[in-house]
Structure formats: C-alpha cells, structure tokens
A and B are shown apart, each in its own frame.
Chain A
Amino acid sequence: MSTIEMKNISKIYQNGTTKTYALKDIQFKADNGNFITITGPSGAGKSTFLEIIGGLLTPTSGKLLINHHSYQNLNKKEKEKFRLNTLGFILQSYNLLPYLKVEEQFQLVHKVKKDNNVGPKLWKWIVDELGIQKLNQQYPDELSGGQKQRVAIARALYTNPQIILADEPTASLDSARAFKVMKMFKQLAQKDNKLIIVVTHDLRLTQFADQHYQIIDGQITKA
C-alpha cells in the first residue's frame, strides 16, 4: 500500500522581500492503483507540488504523510533511500547523463540499486511500449528530444518504484506516442498497483487518468 496525503500544505518562496505563494493550503490524498493527472497554467505551482511530494522541497507549513508516516521527520539519508527505492522521478530536463550510452543509463541505476528492480518480462514490455529497443548503444546527444524523454521514462521505471512522479513527461512527444505512454501508465497503475502522478499541459491526456486535478494559482481542485 502506498498513499500520499498532504494536509494544509503551503509553500512560500522568499526572494529578498518578494514572497511568492506557490502553494496555498493544499489538501490532497492519493492511493496506489491510481493514475492521476494534474494540469494548470504555467507558474501555477505544479512543479512545486511534485517537489514537495518527492521530498526535494520542504513545505513552509503543513504536513506530508507517505504511507501514513510523516515525511518531514526523515533525515537526508532516509530521504535519499526513499527516493531510490520507492519513487520514480521523470523530470522536465537534464534527465540523462551525456557521457553514458542508453544502456549504461540503466546500468548506473542497477549499480546503486541491485534488488527489487523490474523483472525481465515487465522491462521488455516497458521498452517495447516506449519503442526504445534499438537505442541501447546511442549517447543522449545522438537522440531526438522525444527519444530522450522515452529513455528517461524507462530509466525512472527501471527501479520498479511504487510511486511515479512525472513533470511534463510527454512534452516533446507526438500525440500518438504521448497517448501510448499514458496508456502504459494506466496499465502500470492498474496491474502493478502503482501510484502515478503526471503533470501535463495537454488536456487531451487527462482522458486516460483515473482522477484529474487542476492547480490554479497555488490551489488544487478536483476536476
């Protein structure tokens, strides 16, 4: 069982005297087995929301519970461990190390997490769904933007995380590819009982989600 629960979470960025209220008193709860999409205008607070769930940012106020345990109480090392074992992050950029071939990107993950990674059958399915079978020997700068993004998705899934957080994972994919990725996420949520949260600009992608939320001006509402 994996659940995420946010209680009265606010995040204020302070730059000198200017304060940005990125998130305002967020109440949010999500269980595993769900595929959730989040949309909203640029600057609304979507990335901030994901960073807080991922433990990369500390909220200014409020409580984050993961599997009913307070997340803020973990130390740096425990957070590192949690990110490695439980979370899969797909980021907007800089996902791939420029000096590793595609297959070495996966090997690196394997070096630091040897156990409980995806089994060969599931891995083959993921690689096929993403259409990256033939890219193993390429370096990132030999890949198109969309190929890079698909490799990054595969790498995040390699550790078989229970919770997957993705920030614009389909931004540089054509809609057919993007739809395919969404369907894959949906299946992973259903069959492997994962919790998947995807932030996207593309409203058409929300049709694949079990639940859809909007973040506008730092406030979240179920749509």
Chain B
Amino acid sequence: MFLAIKEMKHSKFRYGLIITVIVLIAYLIFVLTGLAYGLAESNRQAIDSWNANQVVLNSDADGALQQSTITSNQAKQIKSQPGQAQIGQISVNAQKKNQKTSASMVGINSNQFIYQNVNIIQGRKFKHQNEVIVDQSMVQNNGYHLGDHFKVSNNSPTFKIVGITKNAKLNVAPVIYSSMGDFRKVKFGSRNVNNISAVIMKHNLKQGKINGLEKISIQQMIQKIPGYSAQNSTFIFMIGFLLLITVIIIAIFLYILTMQKIPYFAVLKVQGIATKYLVKNVIGQSLLITILGIIISGILTGLTAMIIPSAVPIIFNYPLIFGAAGLIILMSIIGSIIPTRSIMKIDPAKAIGGN
C-alpha cells in the first residue's frame, strides 16, 4: 500500500478525477437502488403489512387484484378457516377543493384480521358508515388531515378521515381503508351488491380447486401489480450496467497508468521487489479509489436523503445500499485484473541498457 498511497498523493489531480467519476457512478447506483426499493415498497407495502400467505382471486383476473371480482355465491364456496379476510379494491381519486389525489380504496370487514391488525398512528379505526382510515402519505404529501372530509367522485358519499395508518401503499398510491359497504357503494353504486375482490389468506387454504376461482401466493399477486416487475427489471438492468461501467473505467484507468509505469516496475523487479508486492499495490490502489469514492458518494446520498421531498418514492435501505457498495468494490477488484496481468508480464531484462 506504501507505493499506492504515495503515488496517489503525488498525482492528486489524476486520482482526484478518477475518484470523482467513481463518486458519480456510485451516487447514481445508490440513488437508483433507493428509488427501486422505494417504488417497489410503494407498490406492495399494504399487501406486506397484511402478513399473509395466499390470496383467492377470480381465475379470469390472471392474478391481478385490480381485475378480480368474486360474487357472494363464489365466496360461499371457500371453506372458512382461521385467518381469512375479504377485501374489495378499487382505484379512486380522492377529491378535496378541486384537488385530486389518486388512491387505492380497500374495503375490509371489521370482524376480520386486516381490520383488526391495522396499525393506527393517529385517531381510531372506522366504526360507522362513511368513516375511513388513510395512509399517512396523504397527510404528508397531499394536505389531508385527521377529521377532513372528501369524496371520491361527484356522486360518492362524503367520507370522513377518522384514523391514519402508515406503510399502507398499493400500486404507488395511498390506501384508503373503508368498510366493505362503503367500498361497494363506490364500486357498484349500492351497498346491497355482495361482490368482493379477493380473499386474503393468512395460512394456505386447505381446499383444492374451486370453480371460477384460483388461489395463488401473495408473492405471485405482487408480481402481477401493474408495472411492478417491469419496473424492477428496468432498475436491475440499469444498476447492472452501471456496475459493468465501473469495472471498465477502473480497468482502463489502471491499465493506462500501469503501462506508463512499466519501465519503473521493470527496474523494481530488477532490484528484486517481488511481483506480488507490485500487484498488491495496484489492487490496493483500485480499492482505495473505490472506497474513497463510495464514502464520498455515501455522504452525498445521505444529504440527498435529507433534502429529498417525501413525495419522491425513494427509500435508502441500509442492507441494500451496503450490498450495492460491496458490489462496486467487487467490480474494482475485477477491474484491476487486467493491469495486474500486465505487471506480471513485465520482463526485468527490459530495464537494463537504457532501452
């Protein structure tokens, strides 16, 4: 490391440039990781909070909650077992003084586990008709408050916010928990239609095929959330590409520097300085560059997290960020393989005689 550090100190500009490049790439990787995680979370948070294993949907819905309707006759075929909760889901626009906020209305029954487990951070659970619980992002980002009234269409009932919950987002929209009756009023125009959207199962359903319905795992349903898997693969592709760019940049940079130093390395070899020592220094240099770059971009990422508006769906998840940093470091080691090989090939005899 002696040589690595001395050289970096001596050629500050050169190494400053490459560290800057690594800082920018690492920063981009961190932000994309945060965005990928944040978006994925805001797609599935509410479902995750139910802590369930399976879901029963209409088989025509092809796994998509949004497209599923289960009639009361179909619902009756599902044998009851502990840990079942019916839900009704519809995408709505909450309207307050000309301002519209897209939201996901989820009707639930007060005698079932989703209602019972809703985590209230302010206010209380709904008890009466037209009372709802909303996700806190509607408070933070859209100006709603406990006690506010809003409609979801011109002829919908006026709902009153009686409770605030957290971590309740579905398909990037805040969840509005209402009674099943209120949901039916919004979706079907009447409280007397007995349809629901799905049945969430805490434990796997102990029942074979049911006509017209299908049971799938919660994970499968999450994959069918519109845009969810496409989004994830886009992010994975971008991050993977940036990692590849990191390898190439490190490899090119160290390779060029190594080529410039070959006559000196040849002399060092003549003097009996082991190839291993020189190789260790190049790998050390590559590690120093990336670790410095990661630390600086980590600080930038932290600052970003502090100033970014809460409406931006970005969540910096430590294990993920550390994982990404680990991958960048791995890339820098891979990037130093090529320059390392050229050091091993240096022939000390070339150092003598001045040519």
Interface residues of A, Cβ cutoff 8 Å to B: 47-48, 50-51, 54, 56-57, 77, 80-85, 87, 89, 91-95, 97-100, 104, 107-109, 111-113, 139, 155-156, 159, 167
Contact of A83 among B2, B3, B7, B270 (CB under 8 A): B270
Of B139-147, B235-243, B261-269, B291-299, the one contacting chain A is B261-269
A139 to B347, CA, bound (A): 26
**Chain B residues in 8 Å Cβ range of A98:** 10, 264
**Chain B residues in 8 Å Cβ range of A109:** 271
> Is B2 touching A47 in the complex (CB atoms < 8 A)?
no
Max chain B Cβ within 10 angstroms of own Cβ: one of A54, A87, A91, A107 = A91
> Is B277 touching A99 in the complex (CB atoms < 8 A)?
no
Closest to A139 in B: B10
- Sorted nearest first, the 9 A-B pairs with minimum C-beta distance are A84-B272, A83-B272, A47-B353, A99-B10, A92-B354, A56-B349, A94-B263, A99-B7, A93-B354
> Is B271 touching A89 in the complex (CB atoms < 8 A)?
yes
The total number of A-B Cβ pairs within 8 Å is 84
**Chain B residues in 8 Å Cβ range of A107:** 2
Contact of B271 among A48, A77, A84, A93 (CB under 8 A): A84
The proximity string for B residues 269-299 relative to A, scoring 1 for CB distances below 8 Å and 0 otherwise, is 1111111010000000000000000000000
Shortest CB-to-CB span from A171 to chain B, Å, is: 9
- Give residues of chain B (334-355) contacting chain A, Cβ–Cβ below 8 Å: 347-349, 351-354
> Is A84 touching B264 in the complex (CB atoms < 8 A)?
no
**Chain A residues in 8 Å Cβ range of B277:** 111-112
**Chain B residues in 8 Å Cβ range of A104:** 6
Given A94-B351, A112-B273, 20 other A-B contacts at CB below 8 A? A56-B348, A80-B274, A81-B272, A83-B271, A85-B272, A87-B272, A92-B352, A92-B353, A93-B263, A94-B267, A97-B264, A99-B7, A99-B11, A100-B3, A108-B273, A109-B271, A111-B277, A112-B274, A156-B271, A167-B352
A109 to B267, CA, bound (A): 12
A69 to B271, CA, bound (A): 21
**Chain A residues in 8 Å Cβ range of B354:** 91-93
Contact of A82 among B264, B272, B273, B353 (CB under 8 A): B272
A95-B6 in contact given A51-B352, A82-B272, A167-B352 (Cβ < 8 Å) = no
**Chain A residues in 8 Å Cβ range of B268:** 97
Shortest CB-to-CB span from A219 to chain B, Å, is: 19
- Give residues of chain B (299-355) contacting chain A, Cβ–Cβ below 8 Å: 347-349, 351-354
Shortest CB-to-CB span from A112 to chain B, Å, is: 5
Closest to B263 in A: A94
A94-B272 in contact given A50-B352, A51-B349 (Cβ < 8 Å) = no
> Is A167 touching B353 in the complex (CB atoms < 8 A)?
yes
> Is B270 touching A89 in the complex (CB atoms < 8 A)?
yes
A85 to B352, CA, bound (A): 19
**Chain B residues in 8 Å Cβ range of A100:** 3, 6, 10
Shortest CB-to-CB span from B210 to chain A, Å, is: 73
A81 to B275, CA, bound (A): 11
> Is A80 touching B275 in the complex (CB atoms < 8 A)?
yes
- Give residues of chain B (1-32) contacting chain A, Cβ–Cβ below 8 Å: 2-3, 6-7, 9-11
27 A-B pairs, CB-CB below 8 angstroms?
A: A47-B352, A48-B353, A50-B352, A51-B349, A51-B352, A51-B353, A54-B270, A54-B352, A56-B270, A56-B347, A56-B349, A83-B270, A83-B271, A83-B272, A84-B273, A87-B272, A91-B270, A92-B353, A92-B354, A93-B354, A98-B10, A99-B10, A100-B10, A109-B271, A111-B2, A156-B271, A159-B272
Closest to A47 in B: B353
A54 to B266, CA, bound (A): 13
> Is A95 touching B272 in the complex (CB atoms < 8 A)?
no
A95 to B269, CA, bound (A): 11
A51 to B267, CA, bound (A): 12
**Chain A residues in 8 Å Cβ range of B349:** 51, 56-57
A94-B274 in contact given A104-B6, A108-B3, A111-B2 (Cβ < 8 Å) = no
Shortest CB-to-CB span from A178 to chain B, Å, is: 18
> Is B274 touching A91 in the complex (CB atoms < 8 A)?
no
Shortest CB-to-CB span from A84 to chain B, Å, is: 3
> Is A56 touching B6 in the complex (CB atoms < 8 A)?
no
A91 to B266, CA, bound (A): 11
**Chain A residues in 8 Å Cβ range of B273:** 80, 84, 108, 112
